[in-house]
Amino acid sequence: MEPLDCFFPSELIKSINTPTFILNSGYDSWQIQNVLVPDESSPENSWLTCKANIRDCDSTQIEVLHGFRKTMVGDLKVVQDKEEWGLFIDSCFTHCQTPFKISWDSPISPRLGNKTISQAVGDWHFSRGQRVKEIDCEYPCNPTC
């Protein structure tokens, strides 16, 4: 393996032993706008409206976004076997869900398994109940997004 490959999350995650909670969107808006389809990669601006609002994506663009999510979810398979780890991967088109009460814990927060992000993290951190390994279905399946 090339040494630089170790910096990619899909490889790095394999060597982390500390219990970790991974929170992310399967359709992370920052990653889509800046990594998957940076402005330079779409000079004709065909992704401009899609990158701003997932509801404006055409069917071909949605398939690309589903592929992006599928790759991330596949890379997280290694976490399924790590008993003390937690996951909350929703299908919302968003970024940075932890610093804002509206997404962290409010009546309109995204939910998976009828739990908000804060409830899922709390259940994981305090070992309440069973494992917390929630991965949402593909967009646009989650009405709480």
Q: Where are the domains of the chain?
A: 15-135
Q: Give the model's pLDDT for residue 45.
A: 86
Q: Give the model's pLDDT for residue 44.
A: 81
Supply the DSSP string of 16-42, one letter for each residue: --S--EEEEETT-HHHIIIIIS-GGG-
Q: Give the model's pLDDT for residue 121.
A: 96
What is the helix (H) or strand (E) element at residue 97, kind and residue range?
Answer: none
Q: Give the model's pLDDT for residue 139.
A: 96
Q: Tell me the per-residue pLDDT of 40-68, one tens digit each, with 9 for 90 and over.
A: 887 788 899 999 999 999 999 999 999 99
Q: Does residue 5 carry a pLDDT above 80?
A: no
Q: Tell me the per-residue pLDDT of 64-119, one tens digit each, with 9 for 90 and over.
A: 999 999 999 999 999 988 989 999 999 999 999 888 888 899 999 999 989 999 99
Q: Give the model's pLDDT for residue 41.
A: 85
Q: Does residue 4 carry a pLDDT above 90?
A: no
CA–CA–CA angle 142, 52, 25 (5° rounding): 40
Burial code (b: 16+ CB inside 10 Å, e: under 16) for 77-87 equals: eebeebeebbb
